[in-house]
Amino acid sequence: MGTNRLEAFSDGVIAIIVTIMVLELKLPPDGNPQSLAKVAPTALSYILSFVVVAIMWVNHHQLLHAAKRTDGRTLWANNFLLFCMSLIPFATAYLGQHYTDSLPAALYGVVMTTCGLGFTALRSAIAHHQECDHSKLALMRQGKNWFSVALYAASVPLAYASVWLSFGIFVLIPVIYFMPESLD
């Protein structure tokens, strides 16, 4: 089976994830700056998560283009990744509404860690096929992914020491993905 249906299904699920996240944004009750400041944490958590989901979507798109066919292993790995990603709107809303509390930051870190593991599982499932385009797969270095998984996992216990350290990790990871990679 080809990857077109898998990619279309995944794109639809990811579009719904972004839609659910944006629906969590609530307008301030009036036009004064204090009201706007009260919704700022929710808006900032949305922006962060939107960027993260966009990075995941781009990498997912590139990964599926390395696959020449899919099988049950690939489909289930993709479903696991999409399930993990479907938890992002909940974790984002929880983080935005309770940004000074440890548990929401830790939960966000757990969700992002599982997303990274889901991406790794999908890459492994695609690489398992002899027919995949290994040259395209080789260009998608796993280093950033494993580094991100480790950082997200570290953010979970760090949230109980300092929520702000976890936030630093949450912002650092998208920045890392926008930094150019050397192919050496």
Structure-token pair, residue 121: 């599982």
In degrees and rounded to multiples of 5, residue 22 shows phi and psi of -70, -30
Average pLDDT (9-29) is 92
Q: Each residue of 113-172: pLDDT tens digit?
A: 999 999 999 988 888 775 655 555 555 567 788 899 999 999 999 999 999 999 999 999
- Residue 137's alpha-carbon distances to 34, 66, 81, 157, in angstroms, are 49, 6, 18, 33
Banded pLDDT at 1 (limits 50, 70, 90): low
Banded pLDDT at 183 (limits 50, 70, 90): very low
- Enclosing H/E stretch for 152: helix 143-161
The pLDDT score that the predictor gives to residue 65 is 83
Q: Each residue of 30-81: pLDDT tens digit?
A: 888 998 999 999 999 999 999 999 999 999 998 888 887 888 899 999 999 9
User: Is residue 184 pLDDT above 50, yes or no?
Assistant: no
Q: Do residues 134 and 67 touch, judged by C-beta distance below 8 A?
A: no
Q: What is the pTM of this model?
A: 0.89
Banded pLDDT at 104 (limits 50, 70, 90): very high
The pLDDT score that the predictor gives to residue 25 is 87
Q: Pick from 42, 66, 65, 46: which is nearest to 54 by CA?
A: 46
The pLDDT score that the predictor gives to residue 52 is 96
